[in-house]
Amino acid sequence: MPAAIKPPLSPIEWIEHYNDRSMEAQWISDHGHEYAGEWVALDGDRLLAHGMDAKLVFAEGRKAVKRPLFAHMEPADRVPEVGGFDAC
């Protein structure tokens, strides 16, 4: 007997669950520089956790809410890196 397959969410249900993360993006724009070099866990405009240890920040963020946004705040003076091959 074939396994029961759930139908996909209807467009209305999908829209209700959609989060464009604009509040988190605004928080990062406004406050990200205060946490340079650290990981942050956000829910909307609320900082859930921050620190240098990603595992701890992820754990604290997930304790607080189901789907937090995690981001690493790069220092403003950091030079972007590109890798993936050896030129020699």
46 assigned to some structural domain: yes
Residue 31 lies inside a defined structural domain of this protein: yes
Q: Tens of pLDDT along 13-48?
A: 556 667 789 999 999 999 999 999 999 999 999 999
Percent of all residues in the chain with a pLDDT value above 90, rounded to a whole number? 58
Confirm whether 79 is domain-assigned. Answer: no
| Number of domains into which the chain is organized | 1
Domain of residue 50 covers 19-72
pTM of the model: 0.71
Is position 10 within any domain? no
14 in any annotated domain: no
Q: Report angle CA 34, 38, 40 to the nearest 5 degrees.
A: 85
Look at residue 80 and tell me if it is in a domain. Answer: no
- Per-residue pLDDT tens for 44-75? 999 999 999 999 999 999 999 989 999 999 88
Q: Are strands 46-51 and 39-43 parallel, antiparallel or unpaired?
A: antiparallel
Cα separation, 54 vs 39, whole angstroms: 6
